[in-house]
């Protein structure tokens, strides 16, 4: 016998999330607890965030870590990407100051439990955002980075990197970072 699923309205989710001890994603009426991070996951997300934040000191870009929520209206998804970059002003969900809709670039550090979702359906959902142009997926168990870039004709190009000496150049933002910097303090 299957347990009856409970439907939550977006408003009910936001209310529960404000009081929650741990963050959850919301997708079309269902609430899903987010997996806990590992030291590797935190190092990689932190390394990229710190480099982005420093690089954008005098530029009209902002980098955010996983505490800022993203709303994807066409898919009914509230989520917390590991790192997001916004060009110019933030576009907030009406009545909120903790949820945006306009990232240019998103970085996800892959976990064993979420890597297929991050590469597949979640990437599909992100692509419905008009502002979204670049996606970086970083493996925390080995040196492997997937870099997806939206072209001017709305196709997506994929480049994969496994050489620690590579410097990765973003296309949608004025930023570059070496894989050495991404994987700093990471233990396999």
Residue 3: what pLDDT?
Answer: 47
Q: Does 5 have pLDDT greater than 80?
A: no
| pLDDT 10s digits, 79-117 | 999 999 999 999 999 999 999 999 999 999 999 988 999
- Give the SS3 label for residue 56: coil
Average pLDDT over residues 61-66: 96
Q: How far is CA 20 from CA 29, 49, 69, in A?
A: 17, 25, 14
Q: What is the pLDDT of residue 110?
A: 95
What superfamily does domain 37-182 belong to in CATH? tt1808, chain A (3.90.1570.10)
Provide the pLDDT confidence category of residue 1 given band limits of 50, 70 and 90.
very low
What's the chain's average pLDDT? 94
User: Stretch 58-73: mean pLDDT, rounded?
Assistant: 96
Q: Which residues contact 11 (CB under 8 A, 6 or more apart)?
A: none
* pTM of the complete model: 0.94
Say which residue the tokens 């209206």 belong to: 73
What does the pLDDT look like over 123-164, one tens digit per residue? Answer: 999 999 999 999 999 999 999 999 999 999 999 999 999 999
Gap between the Cα atoms of 49 and 117, Å rounded: 22
Q: How are beta strands 105-110 and 134-139 bridged, if at all?
A: parallel
């Amino acid at each position: 016998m299957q347990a009856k699923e409970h439907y939550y309205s977006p408003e009910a989710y936001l209310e529960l999330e404000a009081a929650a001890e741990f963050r959850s994603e919301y997708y079309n009426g269902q609430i899903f607890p987010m997996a806990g991070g590992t030291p590797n996951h935190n190092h990689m997300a932190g390394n990229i965030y710190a480099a982005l934040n420093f690089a954008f000191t005098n530029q009209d870009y902002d980098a955010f870590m996983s505490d800022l929520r993203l709303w994807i209206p066409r898919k009914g998804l509230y989520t917390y990407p590991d790192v997001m970059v916004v060009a110019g002003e933030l576009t907030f969900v009406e009545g909120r100051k903790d949820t945006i809709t306009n990232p240019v670039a998103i970085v996800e550090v892959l976990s064993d439990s979420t890597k297929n979702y991050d590469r597949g359906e979640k990437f599909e959902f992100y692509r419905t955002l008009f502002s979204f142009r670049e996606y970086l997926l970083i493996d925390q168990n080995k040196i492997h980075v997937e870099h997806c870039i939206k072209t001017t004709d709305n196709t997506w190009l994929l480049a994969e990197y496994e050489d620690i000496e590579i410097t990765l150049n973003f296309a949608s933002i004025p930023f570059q970072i070496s894989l050495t910097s991404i994987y700093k303090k990471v233990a396999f």
